[in-house]
Amino acid sequence: MFFPPVAVTQWSPKFVQELLPAAKKTALLYHLSYLCLANFPNLERTIRSRAVETQLLFCSSDATMFKCILTSDNLVQSLFPKLVKAVEKNKAILAVKFLEKARVWIKDIIVEVEKIVERYELHNRDVASSTSDVIKEKDDTDKKITVQDQELKQTEKSLNTLKSEHRKTTEGLAETEKKINSKTQEIQDFARSINQNCGIYFSLIPFIGPIIKRFYDAVHDPENVARMKALEAELNILIADKTALKQKQWQLQLKIIDWQMKAAKASFDHNSIPDPIHLNDVQSSLTKIQAILIQLKNFWVKVAVMLDYLEQKTFVGEDLIEDLAELKDEFIESIETAKEAWSSFGEGCKKASVIFNLQTKDAYKFLEVSPSSLSKEEWQKEYESVKKRLENIDPPKRVPSAISQ
């Protein structure tokens, strides 16, 4: 049976591991921005307005994740069982009907995620505009200040060194992501070349981990198994490199935040507005969340394509229906494994929904108190509290294997 090449996504049901730190960091970085702009009422109001907009955006993101949950549940509870019955009874027309209904669900999800991605894009522009407003007011204020503080100059020098290292680490992380995607595609191509019957499986399970497991179950030739193990080992090394780079990136960011706050306090001493660096970091976190949602959209697009191939190449055409009859047991087995993978994906969506929900409810309570009303001691205590919470946000230290993705 022939299946045209469809990319199996590196996207993991555990995507929530990427979302959690980004969402948490967004609120905490807003909090730091809020503290840094104490005693500048107009800028305080600007930060408060943008933070409230982010809350509303997270609320909408929660609603989008809930739709993903419902669609995953529909696939597991409705589509897959119905496909099994259709295959058992050799009713290809009925199977096509079920698949078309699933494609409608997925089309709705794609449209919904596209809308929320566009809202993140617009919101990030608003935050960037606010950053420009802070810089303009800072420049106007600094023109009136002639005192040059040596400590501030040294702080800025240290900051620039850390930023340079952080930029190089981020570039290395992006390059490693490309290598992971390339290696994932190589594994898929190899699995398909060895076992053409994996085409059905690929159409039902768009995750690389279960596909590797499936290969080991279906292929027993020592040479081919050794080749897959070598490819898997290469992918695991890349995943380990990614984990290490993410940890380094975050540790550097924590150091940068610390030096930024030192610069902020030094600026306070001269009644100067601190650099709005934390707002830039807010943009980075929002961009990260947006990128995850774009991946989510692309994931659903690929699922739609896979289901289309499944419909066109398996249930349409008498010769292919005859082939399917010979592969009935394998198809049903693939359905059972698919249910497990999609259940795991649904659980990930539920966790993502909880993350957005909690951020909406609890993470922005700091907006209820103006930082300009805090004493120096209270300000320092507030800063130490935020810093500690930031330090507790860390990428996972355990390196997952490709087969667990």
- Condensed to tens digits (0 to 9), the pLDDT of residues 172-186 reads 998 998 899 889 888
Q: Which tokens is 301 given?
A: 């697009």
Give yes or no for residue 234 having a pLDDT over 60: yes
Long-range contacts of 79-82 (CB under 8 A, 24+ apart): 80/204, 80/335, 80/338, 80/339, 80/342
Q: What is the pLDDT of residue 319?
A: 41
Integer angstrom CA distances of residue 265 from 107, 139, 234, 258, 274: 51, 17, 47, 11, 8
Integer angstrom CA distances of residue 205 from 74, 144, 196, 392: 15, 63, 15, 35
Express as a percent the part of the chain with pLDDT over 90. Answer: 14
Question: In a 3-state reduction of DSSP, which class is residue 283?
Answer: helix
The rounded mean pLDDT for the chain is 79
Q: Say if residues 399 and 239 touch (Cβ distance below 8 Å).
A: yes
Rounded (10°) angle between helices 41-74 and 277-314:
20
Q: Which tokens is 393 given?
A: 């946000």
Q: How far apart are CA 216 and CA 228, in angstroms?
A: 8
Q: Which tokens is 149 given?
A: 């503080």
Q: How far apart are CA 274 and CA 287, in angstroms?
A: 23
Question: In a 3-state reduction of DSSP, which class is residue 215?
Answer: helix
Q: Which range, of 6-10, 254-258, 287-291, 396-400, averages the lowest pLDDT?
A: 6-10
Per residue in 140-176, pLDDT tens? Answer: 666 554 445 566 677 778 888 888 999 999 899 989 9
Q: How far apart are CA 306 and CA 164, in angstroms?
A: 42
Q: How far apart are CA 82 and CA 211, in angstroms?
A: 23
Per residue in 101-127, pLDDT tens? Answer: 888 888 898 999 999 999 999 999 999
